[in-house]
Amino acid sequence: MSFRHGIALAAAATSFWPLLTAAESPPNADCRSVKQAHFASIKAGDRVAEFPPDDGCVTLLLARKVGDDGRVYRVSTTADDAAAVSGNVFAIQLKMQLHAAPDLWSSSEDPGGVYGYWTSSPPAENFATPEPLDLIWAMALDEASLGAVNLSVVSGALLKALKPGGVLVISDAASRPLRRELMAAGFELVKARRSSLLKFRRP
């Protein structure tokens, strides 16, 4: 497949991750994601992303829900060695990008000099997938998992990656600043399940 926005999409290895295979049950039968799957409304054939990915429990559950005709993208800001839990799982590693700032005229001895300025964007701000998504499953969107990022940029990237009507589920408590940025980006809050599970939709 081709590169898009500096993100490489690689097919998962044919050999399953030895710690958790598609034929096995999640290591924790009480994995809370089992109970949350219905809330997320995942269907067979869906294109979904897990961001950032966990140890494989949620990935396997998503892979089972979307079935052979669906796809699960493990979207990570670091190298991800645990992607191959199923044949319909793909790994994406987000990259830092450099963006040219507008040229600025120098006020030094050479008033006609033009200097190029570059700014780096953290990996999470460059979220993108090779096809539009039905759902993004976000275990946590905070500084601990994403680093110091511009929440407005991340929110906009998540919205853009979804199909119209696509859903973003955040399965950990989302900060008020993040909620504000998601709404400002264009998301609609569908409903909340307790205080630790939020569901947003792209109109």
pTM of the model: 0.76
Question: Biggest alpha carbon distance in the chain?
Answer: 70
Residues of the chain with pLDDT under 50: 1-30, 34, 105-106
Q: Which two tokens stand for residue 78?
A: 């670091």
Q: Which amino acid is at 165?
A: G
Backbone phi, psi, residue 141, to 5°: -120, 90
Angle at which helices 151-161 and 176-185 pack, to 10 degrees?
50
Backbone phi, psi, residue 138, to 5°: -110, 110
Q: What is the pLDDT of residues 76-108, one digit of tens each?
A: 988 876 666 788 999 999 999 887 665 554 455
Those residues whose C-beta lies under 8 Å from the C-beta of residue 29, and which sit 6 or more positions away, are none
CB 86 within 8 A of CB 112: no
Q: What is the 3-state secondary structure (H, E, C) of 52-93?
A: CCCCCHHHHHHHHHHCCCCEEEEEECCCCCCCCCCCCEEEEE
Q: What is the pLDDT of residues 2-17, one digit of tens each?
A: 333 333 333 332 223 3
Q: pLDDT above 70 covers what percent of the chain?
A: 66
Q: What pLDDT, on a 0 to 100 scale, did the predictor assign at position 12?
A: 33
CB 112 within 8 A of CB 101: no
DSSP string, 85-140: SSTTEEEEE---EEEEEEEEE--SS-TT-EEEEEEEE-GGGG---SS-EEEEEES-
CB count within 10 Å of CB 76 equals: 20
Say if strands 89-93 and 97-105 run parallel, antiparallel, or are unpaired: unpaired
**31-95+120-201 CATH, one of 2.40.40.20, 3.40.630.90, 3.40.50.300, 3.40.50.150:** 3.40.50.150
Give how far the C-alpha of residue 194 lies from the chain's centroid of Cα atoms, to the nearest Å: 23
- DSSP letter for 23, please: T
